[in-house]
Amino acid sequence: MQTSRSRASIAVIGDGGVPPGANGWLLAERLGLLIVEAGHRVVTGGLGGVMEAACRGARGAPAYRHGDTVGILPGHDASATNGFVDVAIPTGLGHARNLVVAHADAVVAIGGGAGTLSELAMAWIFGRLILGFRVEGWSGRLADQRVDPRIRYPSIPDDRVFGIDTAEEAIAILGARLPDYHAARRVESSPP
């Protein structure tokens, strides 16, 4: 159970090249705002496109506090981040930084290519709650299905990449399902 001092980190992943005003940008911007309004933090890969839009939206939330946007950067230079990241974490890991992004409490994908696919696969392996917008790209291809046939949590029989069409749906699912995933991960990681 999270305390008032501990807020969930929600990773927003997807197309790093989506331009401002495009559908993916607008979805990410709205999602970032609503994530912060729901009391969570936004985690991204810290660069442009969906990542920048989500951080920009988070910064526009009335409930925004400094530290609500975290960028896990692929390179060594913190200044390479988009201008809406509060906490820049340069890793020098290149695409391997996707492993760190996928460790968020939940992952929400908007479109995306191979990098997004790697984050989705790692989030699945790590047992995270995953949501995918039903748009072109890997989020749409995996929405409403499992990444692989394994049963991650017997206590969550409908476990899958939860397909969504709006940021409001994402927030509703996060609110309803995140406690189940936290509880299931605790049970799975408990020693016998």
pLDDT higher than 60, residue 192: no
> Which pLDDT band, with edges at 50, 70 and 90, does 187 fall under?
confident
pLDDT band, residue 17 (cuts 50/70/90)? very high
The full set of domain ranges for the chain reads 9-189
pLDDT band at 4 (very low <50, low <70, confident <90, very high): very low
Q: What topology is assigned to 9-189 in CATH?
A: Rossmann fold (3.40.50)
pTM of the entire structure?
A: 0.95
The yes-or-no verdict on residue 135 having pLDDT over 70 is yes
Question: What mean pLDDT comes out for the span 6-11?
Answer: 94
What is the longest distance spanned by two Cα atoms in the chain?
51
Of 3-17, 118-132, 154-168, minimum mean pLDDT range: 3-17
pLDDT of residue 189: 62
Residue 33, SS3? Answer: helix
Cα Rg, the chain, nearest whole Å: 15
What pLDDT was estimated at residue 6? 78
